[in-house]
Amino acid sequence: MKIIKTTLPENSILNLNSKKYDYVDSFHGILLDSENRLEPIDIGKAFFSSGPKWVTKLFNLRNKIVSVFGLKTSGNVVDRQHQLDHFQCDPGDQLGIFKVFNKTQNEIILGEDDKHLNFRVSLFLDLSKTDTTKKDLTISTTVEFNNWFGRIYFLPVRPFHTFIVPTMLKGIIKELEKQGN
């Protein structure tokens, strides 16, 4: 499975207001959807359920470290599977640190605003331009720094981020294709 670095999709909600971000990255993969049944909610749920265990452990470590500085964490998730089963990816819904900001027929915008930075994650699902049995899936991240602490915080996060997101995209695609078979 090939994951490539790309640009923020032209039709992404994050691109509509011509906003300038301090950091942007996008990764693209192709997934099989021969019955054309996949919707953004499927992508949203797979985003939260298909990540490797080491990513979860890394995120838990991040929560422990940043809580000392008063930054937002995902809190104590008691029954994550129950939350995920009832997660509809509707604006205002929250799972862990990720709040749903927007949902369209082909995109979900997740993220959080905090005192040091604001981030958004776009899960953008589009018809393949070359094959009607496949869909293009692009995960994009935008970051706006609110102060110097946000810039310092993101320095060590950035290299992990550019490794984690493509890994998560592969996991999402595998999970969705497994569900479809």
Nearest-angstrom CA–CA distance, 96 and 47: 12
In the sheet where 117-127 sits, what is the strand order? 4-6, 23-32, 134-145, 117-127, 107-113, 98-103, 94-95
Q: Tell whether the model's pLDDT for residue 78 goes beyond 60.
A: no
Q: Tell whether the model's pLDDT for residue 64 goes beyond 70.
A: no
Summary mean pLDDT of the chain: 84
Which pair of tokens denotes residue 106?
């082909």
Query: For the chain, where are the alpha helices, taking DSSP H only?
Result: 13-16, 40-49, 53-67, 80-85, 148-180
Spell out the SS3 assignment of 111-140.
EEECCCEEEEEEEEEEECCCCCCEEEEEEE
Q: Tell whether the model's pLDDT for residue 77 goes beyond 60.
A: no
Share of the chain above pLDDT 90, in %: 41
152-156 long-range contacts, Cβ below 8 Å, gap at least 24?
Answer: 153/66, 153/71, 153/116, 153/117, 154/23, 154/117
Q: Tell whether the model's pLDDT for residue 66 goes beyond 60.
A: no
pTM of the model: 0.84
State the pLDDT at residue 144: 96
State the pLDDT at residue 37: 85
Domain spans of the chain?
4-180
Residue among 152, 139, 14 nearest 71 (CA): 152
DSSP letter, residue 20: P
The sign one gets for the Cα dihedral 167, 60, 41, 120 is negative
Under CATH, what is the fold of the domain 4-180?
Alpha-D-Glucose-1,6-Bisphosphate; Chain A, domain 4 (3.30.530)
Q: Tell whether the model's pLDDT for residue 74 goes beyond 70.
A: no
State the pLDDT at residue 79: 60
State the pLDDT at residue 69: 61
Q: What is the mean pLDDT of residues 131-155?
A: 92
Share of the chain above pLDDT 70, in %: 81
Q: Tell whether the model's pLDDT for residue 98 goes beyond 80.
A: yes
Nearest-angstrom CA–CA distance, 104 and 97: 21
Report pLDDT digits (tens) over 5-62: 999 999 999 998 778 899 999 999 999 988 888 888 889 989 888 776 766 676 666 6
Better pLDDT: 79 or 117: 117
Residue among 131, 134, 102 nearest 11 (CA): 102
